[in-house]
Amino acid sequence: MKVGVLALQGAFAAHSSVLEQLGVATTEVRLAEQLADVDALVLPGGESTTISMIAQRTGLWDPLNAFVRSGRPVLGTCAGLILLAAEVLDGRSDQTSLGALDVSVRRNAFGRQLASFEMDVPVVGLDEPFHAVCIRAPAVERLGDGVEVLAEVDGHPALVRQGAMMGAIFHPELADDPRLHELFLAG
């Protein structure tokens, strides 16, 4: 298996590092043709509007949209979750999402940078809680049919799965714990 990590902006290098520690081949995706060479994809945290604008400007947006709708595994973390969401409740007027994951999200729902936090959360499929690093985290405010909640933070969905897609409000690549990436790869 080869996993692509969208490398336009944000925490892509940390995701690649975790996956490589698991013995998974990775490639940084910056061009449409690089998507043809991967079996799964990670959409990292960063700034969702910036990532979408770069993807559109470089011609990557439509191939990215096709990939996430192909049924292949996709993990979106923080900004990546916002990019996957069917609805962004408080996005900028020029913000675009892929609309592939049937959730509504609110950007920076837990507050600005100074309100960032960390906490251990139980995750369905993991024996021990996972250390969730939430940096300007979005909140999932609506779940569509078929969206499963795998973890919660303060009573709000924090990790969701719909088919082969997973979305997290937190940054698993910063937790020094590869179990969430393993859970993603296991399907």
d(CA 18, CA 88): 28
The answer to whether 181 is a known catalytic residue is no
d(CA 35, CA 39): 8
Residue 36 burial (C-beta neighbours within 10 Å; 0-12, 13-18, 19+): exposed
- Measured N-to-C along each axis, helices 12-21 and 179-186 cross at an angle, to the nearest 10 degrees, of 80
Q: Single out the catalytic residue among 20, 141, 148, 171.
A: 171
The answer to whether 15 is a known catalytic residue is no
Q: Single out the catalytic residue among 15, 78, 134, 181.
A: 78
Q: Single out the catalytic residue among 15, 47, 152, 173.
A: 173
d(CA 76, CA 93): 22
The answer to whether 78 is a known catalytic residue is yes
How many C-beta atoms surround the C-beta of residue 115 within 10 A? Answer: 13
**End-to-end alpha carbon distance in the chain:** 13
Q: What residues are labeled active site?
A: 78, 171, 173
